[in-house]
Amino acid sequence: MANAFAWMAWTMPIALFFIGIVLMLTGMAIWQVRSPSIERKGFLPIPTTRGDRLFIGLLSAAYVNLAWAGLTDLTQWLAAVIGFVVLLVLMRWG
């Protein structure tokens, strides 16, 4: 059986990405325990909680990155910044 870590290239940017995801989820869990969220209606067509908006924001950022990689030859770092802005907008006003 091959080493499980041999299937993925663990570079520093990839490690930082996953560490960031874990920190966001941990922070949201602590925030939820300390101050339970209530559903609210933003510009999204459904009422959402903080956790819902985080999930939708992470998916949206992933789609921005995938579209960027498939449609442009520009640096992926710009797509990461745009994806992060999309995440922040969804968390604040979604």
Tens-place pLDDT, residues 74-91: 988 898 899 999 999 999
Asked if the structure places residue 45 within a domain, the reply is yes
pLDDT in tens, 34-66: 999 889 998 989 999 998 999 999 999 999 989
Asked if the structure places residue 5 within a domain, the reply is no
Asked if the structure places residue 3 within a domain, the reply is no
Asked if the structure places residue 1 within a domain, the reply is no
First to last CA, the chain: 45
Asked if the structure places residue 77 within a domain, the reply is yes
Residue keyed to tokens 């870590």: 5
The number of domains in the chain is 1
The helix/strand/coil state of 78 is helix
